[in-house]
Amino acid sequence: MTPTLNELTVSVIVPVHNGGDDFWRCLLNLTTAHPSPREIIVVADGDSDGSWQAAQEFGAQVLRLPTPRGPARARNLGANVARGDILFFVDADVAIAPDAIGQIITAFTSDSTLTAIFGSYDDRPAAPNFLSQYKNLFHHYVHQTAREEACTFWSGCGAVRREVFLSMGGFDESYQRPAIEDIELGYRLARAGHRIRLCKALQGKHLKRWGVVSLLKADFFQRALPWTELILQDGRFANDLNLKFSSRLSVMLTYALLGAVVGMAWWLGFLGLVLLLMVLLLALNASFYLFFWHKRGLWFTLQTIPWHWLYYFYSGLAFGAGVALHLSRKWFWPRTALPADPGELSYTE
């Protein structure tokens, strides 16, 4: 589709490191989207599986880094060469909906005060195993029940006006591995007075297969720990998304439950307290469990409960560790970004 004279144009930016079959599906959906983007820019972040060649075959503009430098650096490099009015960041394991580009153009055209939007995963994850279904539906639920006026950002399926993005310095490149560089950008945008909106209709299918190790590693080390440090730096707890008051209260109840279970080794009278705390946790998260019940049935829902409580446990653990990490970085070894090295980049059409 050829854009009209006054229509905003969209540049899609996809960082990839050994994307495999999921990346092929991502490219297929991008190239068949209607309307089509002005350009698709793929930044191959030190990949060794030929992902950059697959991108070329789909007609994408390709930038190549010889060694992995992280998605923040990759997205910034893509943004620096983009020509569209809007930068649409898509993860290499996300398949966008056919009308995603049109939704983005409509959102920014209809509201000139809007700086950025982001969406969510859909409710039909690609990988069939339990943890993949649980993890991706968890993400869908959190975003679909959050406030539309947001103070954060998500780069898995999120768009921002190019001029503002560049003026803000882009993503923080000191995050040299996948982490919370998108959340940090959202915090900076919000502090500067820019409007961010969670567009619940803007959805993409997550293609990633989650396992026990990959889920725990991502949740603890790539999200919870650095997000705790960011919260401490920012000085505020937003009552939204994963930081809702009900979630924080659930963390405290989970630790109280754990203490009561341990206490039963000395006094069986703690059994009553254990049952009470379990009921409180179930009641506090009733809407979450009802969501899973409606989507996947009773047996699936029963399996989510221990995983959900485990999530609250390691979230609390990560917060404590994050406080210690924040203080150590503040006092002893502050984190700094790597200097830009234009010579590391190769460019292919």
What residues does each domain of the chain span? 10-210, 241-331
10-210 topology per CATH: Spore Coat Polysaccharide Biosynthesis Protein SpsA; Chain A (3.90.550)
Rg (the chain; Cα; Å):
21
Task: Work out the average pLDDT over 134-155.
Answer: 95
- Per the rule left: phi > 0, alpha: psi between -120 and 50, beta: everything else, 217 is alpha
Angle between helices 130-144 and 298-331 in degrees, nearest 10: 70
- Percentage of the chain modeled with pLDDT above 90: 78
Helix (H, G, I), strand (E, B) or coil at 201: strand
Looking at the predicted structure, is the pLDDT value of residue 92 above 80? Answer: yes
- C-alpha torsion sign, points 215, 221, 227, 232: positive
Look at residue 226 in the predicted model and tell me its pLDDT: 87
What is the H or E stretch that residue 64 is in? strand 61-65
Greatest mean pLDDT range, 155-164, 245-254, 318-327: 155-164
Looking at the predicted structure, is the pLDDT value of residue 125 above 90? Answer: yes
pLDDT digits (tens, 9 = 90+) for 321-338: 888 877 776 666 555 444
Per-residue pLDDT band at 2 (split at 50, 70, 90): very low
Looking at the predicted structure, is the pLDDT value of residue 254 above 70? Answer: yes
Per-residue pLDDT band at 246 (split at 50, 70, 90): confident
Look at residue 230 in the predicted model and tell me its pLDDT: 85
Query: Do 197 and 161 form a contact (C-beta atoms < 8 A)?
Result: no
- Partnered with residue 14 across adjacent β-strands are 42
Look at residue 7 in the predicted model and tell me its pLDDT: 87
Higher pLDDT, 103 or 229: 103
Per the structure block, which two tokens stand in for 15? Answer: 């960082």
Q: Look up tokens 């898509």; give the residue.
A: 90
| Residue 338 dihedral angles phi and psi, to the nearest 5° | -75, 145
